[in-house]
Structure 1
Amino acid sequence: MRPLLSRFAFLLFLLPFLSFQGRIPLEKRALFDGMTFQGWEGDTTKTWRIVDGMLVGGSLEETVPHNDFLVTDREYGDFILTLKIRLRGQEGFINSGIQFHSQRLADPAYEMTGYQADWGEGYWASLYDESRRNKTLIAPDSTQVLKWIKKGEWNDYKIHAEKGRIQLFINGHQTVDYKEPDSMIPQSGLISLQIHGGGKAEVAIKDIFIEELNQKNR
């Protein structure tokens, strides 16, 4: 009987780990292959391009006329998304961000509505509600976040969206922990990369990986 009891005890030991919060993590996978726009849609003739394994949007020579988004071709629910982002600019409004749990608008067709992990002067690593509530939902301490970011250089951005809770991290530091109070706000949707209009600005993004979080067993 001892081997049977030993196996039973081992299963009891494993149970908390197998059922941690009921989550079944799926395989972490790349959202960008570094060479093509496969899995993405948007203005890939002028606004967005691929340069040396990076997705690049905007221009340092010409003012970006309006917000523009490079959008995934499928929707995502709960996930952990990681990427590297670099924002540079010459003049005007220099801003970018990562939309998620979002949808395209019909008018104007280039705009999106939903959450945005913001990136730019005055908005570094904050959570904005694009074309919906049109406001910053939560922002980090402005003095503290400036110690964590690298302006004009590469930064590691992480978005953890799960069961209405949104956490943002920049270079390993948590900047936002937000719980959505409105049950009517969608917790799934498209992911997209933004270059904001109104400035001579260029955003580059690379090493985009997503881990979807299976909620079925919760």
Structure 2
Amino acid sequence: MRKPLLLAVLAVTFACKEKPKEKVEEVTEEVIEVVEEPEWSVLFDGTSFDGWHFYNGGEVTEPWVLEDGAMVLYTPDPRPEGANYNLVTDTEYTDFVLTLEWNIAEGGNSGFFWGVKEDEKFGQPYITGPEIQVLDNERHPDAKNGEDRLAGSLYDIVPPSENSVNPAGEWNSVELMINHKTNEGHVIQNGVKIVEFPVNSPEWDELVAKSKFADWEDFAKFTTGKIGVQDHGDKVAFRNIKIKEL
């Protein structure tokens, strides 16, 4: 006589085990912003001087020559009075990463610049453009004039944190980054970051004020300018020059 009660219990049990309704999850679209990486541009490919000219002058000729994929300066002896063999790019740049390789002769001195302005009143690229030093640290006397004159230094302003240079006659790789938007500059020499510096006022002005350029009216005054390589009277070679604008 207990069957009706048992059936009632079973009915309640099955009702409790009824599957819950599935939850409907909301699907939201995720917007992914694709930021394109800046592209590298070749400034010197080893086959021509296209994109370069003499500072305040015309197309590149001797004493610069193309040799084994490099631009090489053989300064004449005797040197003509007032000769200027500095080279600059045809294009101006503001924020960028520049990479190149350099090779200096024994006892040699040279450099490369950014922020260079061309005008007959300036005469030399270093009047306006800050310089990254290219030097034979072992033999050139400028190496004894202070650590901010050593190879890889921001010349006369910021010394390298360590000696990462290869000896004269060997190639050295350098990366120079200038970014006014983030107020950052750096030098990486042979894979080692050796120099960091601000590039905007007032921090930059404080550095310049402590250097030999303190009273130079036009030094480092142009955020946009040309890239230059220096004629310092010694044999020097540059190759694999590339730039990426930021």
Q: Deviations over 1:102-128 (max 9, x none)?
A: 113414635442111111132210112
Match of 1:39 among 51, 66, 71: 51
SS, match of residue 117 in structure 2: strand
The one of 96, 106, 112 equivalent to 1:89 is: 106
* C-alpha contact 1:99 1:116 (8 A) present in aligned 2: yes
Contact 1:168–1:175 (Cα < 8 Å) also in 2: yes
User: CA–CA distance in 2 between the matches of 1:39 and 1:203?
Assistant: 19
The answer to whether the 8 A contact 1:105-1:111 is kept is no
Q: Note if contact 2:52-2:60 (Cα within 8 Å) is conserved in structure 1.
A: no
The answer to which of 202-211 and 117-126 deviates more is 117-126
| Gapped regions of structure 1 (runs ≥ 5) | 19-23, 129-135, 214-218
State the 1:3 CA deviation.
8.6
Q: CA deviation at 1:56?
A: 0.8
Q: Which 4+ stretches in 1 moved above 3 angstroms? A: 1-4, 61-68, 107-112, 180-184
The answer on 1:195 being equivalent to 2:231 is yes
CA RMSD of aligned residues (A): 2.7
1-structure distance, mates of 2:243, 2:25:
44
Larger gyration radius, structure 1 or structure 2: 2
The structure 1 residue matched to 2:195, chosen from 170, 173, 176, is 176
Specify the SS of the correspondent of 1:29: strand
Looking at secondary structure, tell me which structure has more strand per residue.
1
Q: TM-score, normalised by structure 1?
A: 0.73
Aligned residues: 184
> What is the identity percentage for the equivalent residue pairs of Structure 1 and Structure 2?
28
- SS of the residue corresponding to residue 113 of structure 2 reads strand
Q: 1:63/1:85 Cα in 2 relative to 1: closer, same or farther (>3 Å)?
A: farther
Deviations 1:39-93 (A, max 9, x none): 000173323111121111134x736666631110010010001111100135xxx
Q: 1:139 to 1:67 in 2, by over 3 A?
A: farther
Correspondence 1:64-143 to 2 at 5 A:
68-89=85-106, 94-107=108-121, 109-112=123-126, 113-120=128-135, 121=137, 122=143, 123-128=150-155, 136-141=156-161
Residues of 2 paired with 1:2 and 1:192: CA distance?
61
**What amino acid is the match of 2:227?**
I
Q: Distance between the aligned counterparts of 2:42 and 2:165, measured in 1?
A: 24
Letter in 2 for 1:212: E
Contact kept in structure 2, 1:58 and 1:64, CA below 8 Å = no
* Residue in structure 2 matching 1:30, options 32, 36, 42: 42
The 1-side partners of 2:223 and 2:79 are apart by 30
Match of residue 166, structure 2, among 133, 150, 157? 150
**Please, which runs of 5 or more residues in structure 2 have no aligned partner?**
1-23, 138-142, 144-149, 203-219
Q: Which residue of 2 aligns with 1:62?
A: 77
Is the contact made by 2:117 and 2:222 (CA closer than 8 Å) also made in structure 1?
no
Tell me which of the two structures has the higher relative contact order, counting C-alpha pairs closer than 8 angstroms and 6 or more residues apart.
1
**1:168, 1:155 → 2: CA distance?**
12
Residue range with higher mean Cα deviation, 116-125 or 184-193: 184-193
CA distance in 2, matches of 1:2, 1:185: 59
Offset at 1:206? 0.8
